[in-house]
């Protein structure tokens, strides 16, 4: 079976197709531009609001914690003195002499 051939369109039909296609493309660009503009304005508004709130919070934090803390201090030397930080050595066992030698007992 052969598909039926497409009917030929008239000049007026072709002109209407070109006109409606052009209008659809222009309307699509216009709607996309409008949507993009609305989103950019909303994003800038949100960014401005967020900046305003953070600025306000920073001011409150500065008021709550002053930068000057009054008190006494001492200047520590830059290079601390060397100190022995090892544990003290244990006493060595007494040397074996004739008087303190032990003889092992024999078992019976």
Task: Give the per-residue pLDDT at 54.
Answer: 95
Could you tell me which residue, 90 or 37, shows the higher pLDDT? 37
End-to-end CA distance of the chain: 122
Residue 31 domain-assigned?
Answer: no
Could you tell me which residue, 107 or 67, shows the higher pLDDT? 67
Could you tell me which residue, 29 or 102, shows the higher pLDDT? 29
Residue 90 domain-assigned?
Answer: no
Residue 50 domain-assigned?
Answer: yes
Residue 52 domain-assigned?
Answer: yes
For residue 45, give its domain range: 38-65
Residue 58 domain-assigned?
Answer: yes
Binning pLDDT at 50, 70 and 90, where does residue 40 land? very high
Residue 4 domain-assigned?
Answer: no
CA dihedral 38, 39, 41, 44 (to 10 degrees): 170
Check: CB of residue 74 under 8 Å from CB of residue 80: no
Query: Is the pLDDT score of 85 beyond 80?
Result: no
Residue 55 domain-assigned?
Answer: yes
How many structural domains does the chain have? 1
Query: Is the pLDDT score of 32 beyond 70?
Result: yes
Calculate the alpha carbon distances from 26 to 13, 19, 30 in Å. 20, 11, 6
Distance between CA atoms of 13 and 25, rounded to whole angstroms?
18
């Amino acid at each position: 079976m052969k598909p039926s051939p497409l009917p030929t369109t008239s000049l007026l039909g072709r002109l209407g197709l070109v006109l409606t296609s052009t209008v659809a493309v222009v309307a699509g660009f216009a709607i996309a531009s409008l949507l993009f503009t609305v989103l950019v304005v909303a994003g800038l508004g949100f960014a401005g609001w967020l900046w305003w709130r953070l600025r306000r919070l920073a001011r409150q934090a500065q008021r709550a914690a002053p930068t000057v803390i009054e008190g006494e201090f001492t200047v520590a030397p830059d290079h601390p003195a060397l100190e022995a930080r090892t544990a003290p050595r244990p006493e060595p066992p007494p040397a074996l002499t004739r008087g303190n030698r032990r003889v092992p007992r024999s078992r019976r």
